[in-house]
Amino acid sequence: MTVYLNGQYLPIGEARVSVLDRGFIYGDGVYELIPVYQREPYRLPQHLVRLQRSLDGIRLANPCRDEQWEAIIREVIARQPFDDQGVYLQVTRGAAKRDHAFPPDAVPTVFMMSNPLPVLTREQIEGGVPVVTAADERWLHCDLKTISLLGNVLARQLAVDRGAVETVLFRDGYLTEASASNVLIVNRGRIVAPPKDNLILPGITYDATLELARDGGLPFEIRPVTRQEALAADEMWLSSSTKEVLAVTTLDGKPFAGGKPGPVYREMYRLFQSSKPRARVPA
């Protein structure tokens, strides 16, 4: 696999960063994951806006202009042998003598790779997926897409340990998101999405879903969702760049929402597929 590191395209085995890189030492960096359908990045401008927002949030100057990002992203895509990809882009504060305070002269480390986009199976789309629930124990800037992901890693492992695909998180009695997905619910025919505040990542797929709902005439509202409402919802969905939109049909080991994807999900799935550059064929 060919990756990009600080101006060079290299085989992944030859890409090297310093052990003093602040990404390694402090998790001091941000990232993006951009889905690519048939070699065309999906919602690239929106991903670059979010990247800028994350960089601003950690007070790190953007090392590239948008045209430069786009050129590198397209080059990385072109160098892979597969068509549907997930481009992973990471910027850290660079290598410097270990000290918590920002180094005055470090050069940001820019890394990019692209993996095959995970294929969603018919079973996942038509049967839904299992989730577990847990307390959201992360920090108070979950709106920044930082590489400091330990809270998310621990939450995700909990799902894996229990044979589920995601862990849905609650903080102070309210739904936030899942370890690597946003969570939306449907109640009495209305989609309800938690607000994009500091407690959740402003998902590009979350935005895509609500835009599709608006354009497709599906009623929705954005407001806090209590744990009680989420657990009694008619439908619950996960949204992310790699999952698109998936329905939750098992929660904490018990059938949820009738144990099959609901009617609003099925309509959203249809809208989402028709909005993509070209439909991915499920395995």
Ligand X SMILES: Cc1ncc(COP(=O)(O)O)c(C=O)c1O
Residue ranges that bind ligand X, judged by CB under 6 A: 33, 152, 177, 180-182, 201, 203-206, 239-241
Query: Quick one: 118 or 219, whose CB is closer to ligand X?
Result: 118
Burial state string for 117-137 with b = 16 or more CB within 10 A and e = fewer than 16:
beebeeebbebbbbbbbbebe
Tell me the closest approach of the beta carbon of residue 139 to ligand X, in angstroms.
Answer: 12
Residue 271: CB partners within 8 Å, gap ≥ 6?
Answer: 212, 213, 215, 216, 218
Taking CA atoms, 125 is separated from 105, 165, 261, 266, 272, in Å, by 49, 13, 8, 9, 12
Residue written as tokens 């790699």?
242
Query: Least distance (Å) from ligand X to the CB of residue 197?
Result: 13
Smaller CB separation from ligand X, 181 or 250: 181
254 as an active site residue: the answer is no
Q: Output the smallest distance, CB 251 to ligand X, in A.
A: 18
Say which of 145, 196, 243, 276 is annotated catalytic. Answer: 145
d(C-alpha 222, C-alpha 239), whole Å: 15
Taking the least distance from each CB to ligand X, the nearer of 106 and 212 is 212
Q: Are 48 and 69 in contact (CB under 8 A)?
A: yes
Cα distance between residue 50 and residue 54, in whole Å: 6
Torsion of CA 128, 129, 134, 139, to 10 degrees: -90
Measured from the CB atom, the residue of 107 and 153 that comes closer to ligand X is 153
Structure-block tokens of residue 215? 């354009």
Taking the complex as a whole, the smallest distance from the CB of residue 46 to ligand X amounts, in Å, to: 8
Which are the catalytic amino acids? 145
